[in-house]
Structure 1
Amino acid sequence: MAISVFILNVFRCCGVWRPDQSQSKLKRHSYLIHTSLVVGAVCTFLLSQMIYLLQMIDVEIEAIANNTFMLVTTICVACKMGSLLKHQRAIQGFVDILNNDICRPKSIDEIEKQNVFEKNMRRWILFYESLVGVTITAVTLSSIMLRKLPFNGWVPFEHRTFIGFWCAYVHQSFADASCAAIGSSFDLLFCNLLNLACAQLNILRIRLQSIPSIISEASKDRQLHSESTKDLEARILGKCVRHHLHIIKFVKSVNETFGTVIFIQCAVSTYVLCISTYMITTLPLGSEFSFLIAYMITMLSQIYLYCWHGNELMLQSVNVHNALYAMDWPILTIGTQKKLIMIVSRSFKPLSFQCGGIIVLSLDTYTKLLKLSYSIYNFLKTSE
């Protein structure tokens, strides 16, 4: 099991997934220059938005709010970029946790289940990347037709001239495309990792459910609780216990690596939804109105993507717990039953992803975030 090749290729193109140390020194140094260009473009794009916002201190609060939703999004992407550059080796390390012999699918049923999860992940990638790509393309093309920069920002030269406009336009478009590619692929990487955990929990459930039938088949020509049968039970259950521990370790590693960034993203998405909804109600129909609609749909999809995969992780964890209860316990030895009780007690609390140790990703959380956004929007409307 591995991270989607498409996601890794996007990261490589954007300069945030460094080549292995086995690559030549020239290739590694060339990639470092590429990384510096992308990071420099994103950071200067962020800086121009911050300076532009500081120049608006004396302007109405509504105008300031209108110019902050893109700023906070860029800040969030910068956090994601920093997280990828810092934790690349760690991410590769805990993906290897699921690549050992215990976690590898063996039976036809296990392989089919894993293929189902991989197919679902490919659908999510196609949907989400297409949505982000269409939104970014629409913004960049419409700004050309209107002879206007895609985003508000401070520019250290006169951008109303022909050369000045195209210099600023290329910088903003490149930086924004990089932000969109890195941000969306980071979201999909996170969901891909949760999807891997879900697939492993499903495989574990299949293995636990098959224990009684394997024991029953093995004891046909011998006594049910013979020494050989006990040894077989111990080996199978021991592998299941180690498999469960590997999954728990994997989910814990994902929590530790992505928790803070996902929490920032949830907070930013909630804020952006509030501001976008407020702006939509005040803007006339036009290019800016269409951009806000597309941007808001993307934000809603992003939060739903997080919460759906977090919810799926909890459901698959509960399914493992239920599979333990549904097993044919009487056919197993007392020692095996005691070990199963330990696994049951360990699985009482479902595996989940917690953003910053505060927000648990689930569909219930998605509903609460939408309600919070709507409450803040109502507050903004009533305070006009």
Structure 2
Amino acid sequence: MTTILTLSKCGMIAAGIWRFPVTTRPSFQILYALYSICIQVYLAIFVVSMVIRFAILSIHENHPTKESVDLLFTAFAYLISFLVTQIKAVICQTKPLRRIICYIIEEEENLSNSGDEEILAYHRRQIALDKKINWAIFYFTALLGSAAIVSNAFLRVSIGQLNSASNSTVRRPFVYELYYYKVDTEKRASILVILNAFSVLVAILMGVSTQSIFLTCIIFASSVLKALQVKLKKMSVGDNDMTVTLAGLVKEHQRVVRFIKQLNEAVKHLMLMDYFLNAMNMALVMLLFLEAETGMQFASCVFYSGRMMVIIFALGWTSNEIKVQSQGLADAIYESGWYERPLSVRRLLHMMILRAQRPLALTIGPFDEMTIQSSLTIMKAAYTYGTVMMQKYQRE
């Protein structure tokens, strides 16, 4: 059966960061555990190598040229992306997020067993939305990786032909600027090209899976809030003991509040990183976009900016939906005919209405709430950063 976690689970298994059993066969589970260790050790070494190489490029560049500055900006953009991905990969395997995933599995089963067509229809729409967003991120990421490989291949061939024709020794760059300790990059070029291509695959798997699970959790929060709204509006239908029914809904409301608070604790610092780093990345892409000289470089910038925009606005939209649905709880209680209830029931409903006046929301670190307006602010900040960087670059 298709669930809201199906796509995210597949991505996390492929990336080696799914911390639940993937099979009932112990031998296969051991193999997966070994695969998980290998892929994450590789990612850690990869990120450290990128940091060292970027530091070398920054320190040794005394007389920057256009090519060296473009290389530095590209290396910085990739480094930011991989640092954030590495942090997200670690958080995906922590106990708080595992508890959130367990809650989603349990509550989704309850939604499926509710039998209410309005609840099921809304949840199906949320599953469809989750698929569309995550597939969009996957397509843009895969296209970006493919464009990076093809663009780098053409660049290496053209530089190789230039070196042969002019008997020069211009360095041929790889897709990712990595630090190779005591390795002759020209003699080991074929092996390093394969290593870079494998690194692109790891980047796609990790980048998509770590982003996917957080978006899925945020989207699911809207489903449980909507289900609670429907139950509150329809609680009078077939209820013999209204107080017992409402007490159950109060407990369910408390569980939802705890879930969203736990989710916020798990993602608020990532929201803060995404808020600033996405703005910086978009600014870097703007600069690289203007400096693109080939079709593949232009395509890489388009795919990178497309991926970033999908993530930025998906985070804003889905986070905003949590706030909207939590505010709708008070309206749902009002529409349930609260004024016709016994006094004990009205008191419970009054308490729920008061609690619903403080809408649930995901925050950007300890600061403001994440909403559509926050996404627009990120884009404005990216434009500001990009303008400043371009002015400085043109002066130099």
Q: From 157, 176, 185, give the equivalent of 1:159.
A: 185
2:300 is the alignment partner of 1:300: no
Q: Which amino acid aligns with 2:81?
A: T
For the pair 1:71 / 2:79, whether they are aligned, the reply is yes
Partner secondary structure for residue 55 of structure 1? helix
Amino acid at match of 1:41: Y
Q: Pick closer, same or farther for the CA change 1:250–1:2 going to 2, 3 Å.
A: farther
State which drifts further: 134-143 or 250-259.
Answer: 134-143
Q: Counterparts of 2:243 and 2:137 in 1: how far apart (Å)?
A: 45
- Distance in 1 between residues matched to 2:98 and 2:123, nearest whole Å: 25
Question: Aligned partners of 1:121, 1:261: CA distance in 2, in Å?
Answer: 19
Correspondence for 1:132: 141
SS of 1:211's equivalent in the other structure is coil
Aligned counterpart, 1:188: 212
Tell me if structure 2 keeps the 8 A contact 1:11–1:17.
Answer: yes
Are residues 1:209 and 2:209 paired? no
SS at structure 2 position matched to 1:281: helix
Contact 2:49 2:179 in 1 (8 A): yes
Per the TM alignment, residue 271 of structure 1 is displaced from its structure 2 partner at its CA by 1.1
Give yes or no for the alignment of 1:355 onto 2:349.
no
* Contact 2:278–2:378 under 8 Å retained in 1: no
Residue 42 of structure 1 and its aligned partner are, at CA, apart by 1.6
Q: Give the 5 Å matches for 1:280-359.
A: 280-359=289-368
Alignment partner, residue 14 of structure 2:
13
Structure 1: gaps spanning 5 or more residues: 219-228
**Paired AA for residue 252 in structure 1:** K
Distance 1:380 1:144, change over 3 A: closer
The one-letter code matched in structure 2 to 1:377 is: G
Counting matched residue pairs gives 367
Relative to the length of structure 2, the TM-score reads 0.84
Could you tell me how far apart the structure 1 residues matched to 2:112 and 2:248 are?
9
The one-character-per-residue Cα deviations of 1:316-342 (angstroms, maximum 9, x if unpaired) are 112222222334233212221111110
What SS does structure 1 have at the residue aligned with 2:309?
A: helix
The Cα shift of 1:353 comes to 0.9
Q: Which residue of 2 aligns with 1:29?
A: 30
Structure 2 Cα separation of the partners of residues 21 and 375 of structure 1: 46
Alpha carbons 1:42, 1:176 under 8 Å: kept:
no
User: How far did residue 344 of structure 1 move?
Assistant: 0.7
Larger displacement relative to structure 2 (267-276 or 3-12): 3-12
Which 10-residue stretch deviates more, 125-134 or 270-279? 125-134
User: 2:35 is matched by which residue type in structure 1?
Assistant: H
1:275 has 2:281 as partner: no
Q: Per the alignment, do residues 102 and 286 of structure 1 end up closer, same or farther by CA in structure 2, a change over 3 Å counting?
A: closer
Q: Name the CA distance, whole Å, in 1 between partners of 2:214 and 2:362.
A: 11
- Deviation of 1:8 after TM superposition, in Å, equals 1.0
The residue aligned with 2:175 is 150
| Structure-1-length-normalised TM-score | 0.86
The range that moved more, 362-371 or 255-264, is 255-264
Please provide the CA RMSD for this pair: 2.6
C-alpha separation in 1, matches of 2:25 and 2:206: 25
Counterpart Cα distance in 1 of 2:251 and 2:106? 11
CA contact (8 A) 1:317 1:347 kept: yes
User: Which amino acid in 2 is paired with 1:32?
Assistant: A
Determine if contact 1:275/1:377 at 8 Å carries over to the other structure: yes
The answer (yes or no) to whether the contact 1:98–1:247 under 8 Å persists in 2 is no
Q: What's the offset of the Cα at 1:24?
A: 5.3
Distance across 1 between alignment mates of 2:204 and 2:107: 29
**Aligned partners of 1:360 and 1:176: how far apart in 2?**
34
Note the C-alpha offset of 1:22.
8.4
Report the residue type matching 2:207 in the other structure: G
Distance 2:198 2:366 in 1: 35
